[in-house]
Structure 1
């Protein structure tokens, strides 16, 4: 007999349902994602070429060294983060992983507030990432139109950009609603599309140039078009990979829809992150080989997108339009994947009663294939509201990018930190485990993530800031974190006691009940106390 309710059909194999039952949860979502499909999801969210196109302006001021070595260095650290989280995910695979792990490993005094803040930081970080991804889609779409028109400078109105952004958001939510049963298969298509775009880019850019830049320029050429010292300008270039290499987190939020989750989920995180680091470095080498040495010209391109100018210089007008159109399609794939991940995190957080209107958002749509339809639309609408900030000033728009980095990296930091400081004795390894290297990797990740959060707060153009050049990430994220803590201590502590137990005892045999009570990672006073 399966732990899965008979009336719901066979949502998961017994071993997957049991792994979730150990954490106190009933299987509610259908496990449809295979190993290749979960990798395709994470890889399409990485969206290497569109991600680089959106954020390369953070790396260009440091020159080719910032492009190539900045990506490789930061990417290597992020890969270690994926390994540290794979250790945790293999042992405790749940859609609410980051805040669940934080609660499990933290000291009793702090586990509830820390879990609460991590959950909110993560969901707002992912939603800001969704908004900024689709905002870049809008800019890219309009830059292609400008390139095709071939006249004047690129200066679309804020309202025009926002309207394109809204259309993009709506198409994502609509497609996810009506194609919900084939979403896993679509992720394979999206992943293949992204891989082909990478191959075309790394081949077409150097091939299109009559003379590529020297190896000396590619690997040692440096610049400093910031107001910071050269070393810090190099660190600022890390903002490009730290914003871009984050899709592996989707494997966590989709872990309750993954087959053989204790093995597949960590595999998906590690392979996606390793692919992003290696392939991203190759793309950066291709860009450094093909771009003009006049970096200031790229940063102030009339197309509004440095990558569009790089394509234009190498491939001409028609080639640039063709390539940017392919990038635009991949950008849409990327936004689709981010919405998929955001909706699952919002659903998990609602299941644990932490979000407003949790009873409404925690419901699963059985008619659409056991998916959280309400959080798909709720996440979309919230991202549309976030997009309204782009109508204020460019500085606030830029904060959408760095807000997501800082908020997500705090959510990555806390469970790893809690495990190292408070929870070493509680950790029971899953099938994937790095053994004696686990703690050293975790400590390295904590240091890097603390640094990356700090880095995201710095103004991009230098220390001498004005209201128009100020980086408001510290304000936005500070308000989020302080507000979440204040909300918890003022009100939420009365009803948020951490992750809930939703396991239905009616679906358990005596043998299963005994085994769960023996191996559970949550406190069951008695099986009868489980919610029915």
Structure 2
């Protein structure tokens, strides 16, 4: 009785009863501290999206199709992403948990496929998030060295080795910051700071570019109707390729799901964070690309082939000269650096949740939560950082190989978003019990539309940006990288993991469960009743009492 009382007291210190009860109904004990407010949950997604730095990093996808494709491609694709956010918000409000994507897949899928599909989604999401972390920090490295190139008037020519060293330093700094911020419990508050920093950078750009180009601004007709095609694709398809900019930029909204177990009032905070972050990027991003298209040179090839190695650096340079470009690019890469902190937090929560369910290598080590560092999974933080350093070795090969980090992020996460929504539509309609946020009778049509867009955007991400006639340098390795991830995960499952992976595990102490929670677990059949339960479930005729491992915590 004493241990149960102590555990209840600890849970009360970590979360309010309503949030802890919701998590317990899904089989998990409250191990992380719920310190994120609704705004901070949205903030972590918006910080990861890092609107202007992300647009700057992906201009090479949108500029080749001309200003009209930049502007309208952003608006249309962002609207489609908002539909995906609506579908995910329905699920996250009903069942908010850090490993939500693979948990929902397992919950809604037919018994025959639930284990392999859940395993696949968990690995695709984990590696996709780490790939996103890599691509953000690699983009930071390119921006930083572009400032040096501008400052030396092009005399400094960075090698792949120099870029990788900057990348390593960036990864290490992020892991240290996350560790220290977790120890003093300010990670949630930092998201507000990061959000404000992004908004200030956008405001500065809205002033600097129009003022700097006041004599050379482009007409509204040029911005909204002028098209181009600097690719080898037909003009219509070049327009779709411009969608890759918003697809990559607005790709961090699932971080709200991974922060579910640290969010207060998660059933509302998580969907609000998803839709708020997408909506903010949709509207502000639309204004950003209009301003950029209005102020950039009409010689699109000169922007794409800038000696600074960054189209945005050239746009700033043309507007405000060398010193102004250095200042603006410095603000840009510093904001991109802040993005890396937030995505490391989100990716570590997914890795921790997947380890808690025993699916990742060394799960016993990475599933531990450190009380010393504010009840956070510090081991998972450093595990993701080390994996990012290994994946980042691709940038030593060639720029085409480095772009695989981008493809791993987009296609890997697209699969992870698609599968639970698809499973809910095909197999799980009757099992779905709406949460406080629910789109009602539009829920299924929204989910179907989301699935269609995710398939289409994945295909886009797999095509070479320059056209169908590729070389080793221009090849898009998305198919290769993601096929290796997906086939490797499934091979691992069918060769070995199928013997021990039975889906999400229960970490809740049986003594803490109410009869209703126990009954719901059995009725949901989200666990293997024969394996996970032993006889004498109180209050359930012919049932069993839950007998699973309790929460594991440990200090680093």
TM-score, normalising length from structure 1? Answer: 0.97
The SS at the match of 1:527 is strand
CA shift digits 1:124-179 (9 cap, x unpaired): 11111111110111111111111122243x63011110011111101100011112
> Matched residue of 1:179: which SS?
helix
Instruction: Find out whether 1:16 has 2:19 as its counterpart.
Output: yes
Alignment counterpart, residue 303 of structure 1, candidates 303, 308, 311 = 308
How far did residue 65 of structure 1 move? 1.6
* 1:282-431 equivalences in 2 (<5 Å): 282-431=287-436
Q: Is the 8 A contact 2:421 2:447 kept in 1?
A: yes
Contact 1:4 1:27 in 2 (8 A): no
Structure 2 residue aligned with 1:29: 32
State the distance in 2 between where 1:274 and 1:159 align.
Answer: 38
- Partner of 2:462, secondary structure, is coil
> Quick one: distance in 2 between partners of 1:422 and 1:411?
17
Determine if contact 1:46/1:244 at 8 Å carries over to the other structure.
Answer: yes
Provide closer, same or farther for how the CA distance between residues 65 and 516 of structure 1 changes in structure 2, counting only shifts above 3 A.
same
Aligned residue for 1:433, secondary structure, equals coil
Contact persistence 2:41–2:270 (CA under 8 A): yes
Query: Shift of the alpha carbon at 1:248?
Result: 1.1
Write the distance in 2 (CA, Å) between the matches of 1:102 and 1:528: 22
Distance 1:2 1:112 in 2: 35
**Aligned equivalents of 2:54 and 2:125: distance in 1?**
20
Please report how far the alpha carbon of residue 4 of structure 1 lies from its aligned counterpart in structure 2 after TM superposition: 5.8
Contact 2:11 2:30 in 1 (8 A): no
Secondary structure in structure 2 of the residue aligned to 1:428: coil
After superposition, the C-alpha distances for 1:312-361 in whole angstroms (9 at most, x for unaligned) are: 11111111111111111110111111101100000000000000000000
Structure 1: any 5+ residue segments left out of the alignment?
none
Does the CA contact (< 8 Å) of 2:11 and 2:20 recur in 1? no
Deviations 1:200-255 (Å, cap 9, x if unpaired)?
11222112112310001100110000000001101111111111101211100000
Equivalent of 2:544 in 523, 526, 529: 526
1:38 to 24, 37, 41: 41
1:188 is aligned to 192
> How far apart are the structure 1 equivalents of 2:450 and 2:387?
31
Please say if 1:215 is aligned against 2:220: yes
1:3–1:458 distance in 2 versus 1, CA, 3 Å: farther
Structure 1 SS opposite 2:375: coil
Distance in 2, Cα, partners of 1:171 & 1:365? 20
Q: Could you say which residue in structure 2 is the equivalent of 1:483?
A: 488
Q: Structure 2 matches for 1:224-263, cutoff 5 A?
A: 224-263=229-268
For residues 92-143 of structure 1, the C-alpha deviation after alignment (integer angstroms, 9 at most, x for no partner) is 0000000000111111110100010111111111111111110111111111
CA contact (8 A) 1:60 1:295 kept: yes
Please report how far the alpha carbon of residue 3 of structure 1 lies from its aligned counterpart in structure 2 after TM superposition.
10
Q: Superposition RMSD on alpha carbons, in Å?
A: 1.4
Mapped pair 1:90 → 2:93: yes
- 2:78, 2:250 within 8 Å by CA — same for their partners in 1? yes
2:133 to 124, 130, 135: 130
CA distance in 2, matches of 1:396, 1:96: 29
Q: Does 1:74 align with 2:87?
A: no
1:201 aligned residue:
205
**In structure 2, how many angstroms separate the alpha carbons of the residues matched to 1:470 and 1:150?**
31
CA distance in 1, matches of 2:301, 2:5: 62
**How many residue pairs are counted as aligned between the two chains?**
527
Corresponding residue for residue 530 of structure 2? none
Q: Write the distance in 2 (CA, Å) between the matches of 1:407 and 1:179.
A: 29
Of 274, 281, 292, the residue aligned with 2:286 is 281
Which consecutive aligned stretches of 4+ in structure 1 deviate over 6 angstroms post-superposition? none
Conserved 8 A contact 2:518-2:546: no
Shift of 1:529: 2.4
User: What is the SS of the residue equivalent to 2:370?
Assistant: coil
Separation in structure 2 between the aligned mates of residue 3 and residue 304 of structure 1, nearest angstrom = 58
The residue number in structure 1 matching 2:540 is none
Q: Which runs of 5+ in 2 are unaligned?
A: 528-532, 534-542, 551-556
> 1:13 Cα shift?
0.2
Render the CA deviation track for 1:453-512: whole Å, top value 9, x for unaligned.
111111111111122221111011011111111110110000101000111123x2xxx5
Q: Secondary structure at the match of 1:155?
A: coil
Output the CA distance in 1 between the equivalents of 2:5 and 2:302. 63
